[in-house]
A and B are shown apart, each in its own frame.
Chain A
Amino acid sequence: MRSKVMVVDDMPINCDILEEILEDEYEVIIAGGGREALEVLTQKHDEIGALLLDLMMPEVDGFAVLEFMKKNGWMDKVPVIIISGENTVEAERRCFDMGVSDFIQKPFDNSLVRRRVSNVADLFSYKNKLEERVAKQTEILRKQAAKLQKSNTELIDILATVVEGRNMESGLHVKRVKGFTRILAMRLLKDFPEYGLTEAQVEVIAAASALHDVGKIAIPDHILLKPGKLTDEEFACMKTHTTRGSEILSEIKGVWDESYSKMSYEICRHHHERYDGRGYPDGLAGEDIPLSAQIVGVADVYDALVTERCYKKPFSTEEAFNMITGGKCGTFSPKLMEAFTRARSDFEELARSRE
């Protein structure tokens, strides 16, 4: 409970009268003018339970004190009671517009002044206490959410590491795809607001992208690690990494946040769909393909092109760019291609920084 009450009036007699009224219950701080009031407020605003303010004062008047308090955000913390001989409605309205709690016109009644002060002081004390408690709890919630998010991404990275270990060629593939995914998604967030992406969603998509090939743990070594071209039969098996992966992910329940599990599932199952509907496994077309999977699809293809694989040499970043935008590696949404074109230099910078 803030036990101090401040009285601001340039007339000593007014200060004396108000002090006498209030001194039984409060420690009364007197400021003999607006300027002095600003100084005291700057130092002690969080100790003052109520402020009794005169309007008409030389130099810094009551309105200037109110302006100063408003600018510093103190009007919500310190209740102000105007005590004035001013009896125009405009002055009273202006004071309430600026957020004062009460307006007492002279002549005032001693016992009523005391009651009005204790009313607003109690109310603000209660309000301030509640706000502090809410702020404290919000902070706890925020910390817990951050912790939860961290454990979500850690869980994803553990799974991704398992896949990496199995899929010998691509130790850094997962990390780079995550980087390309984030670049492309951030570009969409900035330039294509119609997708309604948020920064939090971009982070979830980037984190979940790590699991796009999790289904490869179910592909036999002689197919997964085969250096040459796959037969039709082998390729059909290879394609099942999307469905096997999504099945695995749908089995993981209760340990991670739903937004992560949904996003991981979408990416894992649909990152080989094509915008023209000729992709796999479900032959989804256009915007039926989840945006997350479309984004990771581009990132995955780009990394595959610019990286050496057991069955191919790396392409230059220029070749890779032209192949993707020229439709040589699947078809993508025109908007995604526009975003990819605009983000080209960011992609190339990340590609160059590998190893």
Chain B
Amino acid sequence: MSIKDFYDAVGGSYDEIMRRLLSEERVKKYLGKFLNDKSFEQMTEEIAQKKWEDAFRDAHNLKGISVNLGLQSLFESSSELCESMRNGEPSVDIQPMYDRVKTDYETVVSSIGQL
């Protein structure tokens, strides 16, 4: 899979990421590091344990890194989830939001695996 195909698969703009990060090699390197990031796993656990403050922070981290790497779908779903936890315990059922994040995250991870 090429970098361009990758961005088509995860719903991001190849041109935009190239404008900001300048080289495919660098983009690929950063995406490789994304696999080492534990924000998603930690967030999953924290939500299960209702540690809302920690879950908010990890969702925020996930949102930050995905926007910076141009992972548009994951950025959008994690932003929504993050905002729902900004003031502590969410007032709505967050399961659908979480599921979207999970789907987007898994798409990103498997696509990086095909690079």
Give chain A's interface residues, CB within 8 Å of chain B. Answer: 10-14, 16-17, 20, 56-58, 84-86, 106-111
Contact = CB atoms under 8 A, between A and B. Distances in A.
Interface of B: 19-22, 26, 30, 33-34, 36-37, 39, 54, 57, 60-61, 63-65, 67-70
Contact of B68 (A56, A58, A86, A108): A108
Contacts of B19: 109
A111 B68 CA distance: 14
Nearest to B33: A13
Contact of A17 (B36, B61, B63, B68): B68
B64 A84 contact: yes
Contacts of B20: 107-110
A12 B36 contact: yes
A11 B68 contact: no
A10 B20 CA distance: 23
Contacts of A107: 20, 67-70
B68 A106 contact: yes
Contacts of A12: 33, 36-37
Q: Which secondary structure characterizes the binding site on chain B? A: helix
B37 A11 contact: yes
Given A56-B60, A58-B57, A109-B19, A20 B65 contact: no
Nearest to A88: B86
The 6 closest A-B pairs by CB, nearest first: A85-B64, A109-B20, A107-B68, A13-B33, A107-B67, A106-B68
21 contacts: A10-B61, A11-B39, A11-B64, A11-B65, A12-B36, A12-B37, A13-B30, A13-B33, A13-B36, A20-B26, A57-B57, A58-B54, A58-B57, A85-B61, A85-B65, A106-B67, A107-B20, A107-B67, A107-B68, A107-B70, A110-B20
B67 A85 contact: yes
A252 B68 CA distance: 77
Given A84-B64, A85-B63, A85-B65, 9 more contacts: A12-B36, A13-B30, A16-B30, A56-B57, A106-B67, A107-B67, A107-B68, A107-B69, A110-B22
A6 to B, nearest CB: 19
A17 B26 CA distance: 9
Given A58-B54, A109-B20, A14 B26 contact: no
Contacts of A57: 57
B61 A56 contact: yes
A17 B57 contact: no
Contacts of B68: 14, 17, 85, 106-108
Given A13-B36, A20-B26, A58-B57, A110 B64 contact: no
Contacts of B70: 107
Nearest to A85: B64
Contacts of A85: 60-61, 63-65, 67-68
B64 A14 contact: yes
A349 to B, nearest CB: 66
A85 B30 CA distance: 17
B30 to A, nearest CB: 6
A111 B67 contact: no
Contacts of B69: 107
A16 B57 CA distance: 19
A12 B70 CA distance: 18
Nearest to A11: B61
Nearest to B82: A85
A11 B26 CA distance: 18
Nearest to B53: A58
A86 B56 CA distance: 12
A14 B65 contact: yes
A83 to B, nearest CB: 9
Contacts of B33: 12-13, 16-17
Nearest to A109: B20
Nearest to A20: B26
Given A106-B67, A109-B19, A110-B22, A13 B34 contact: yes
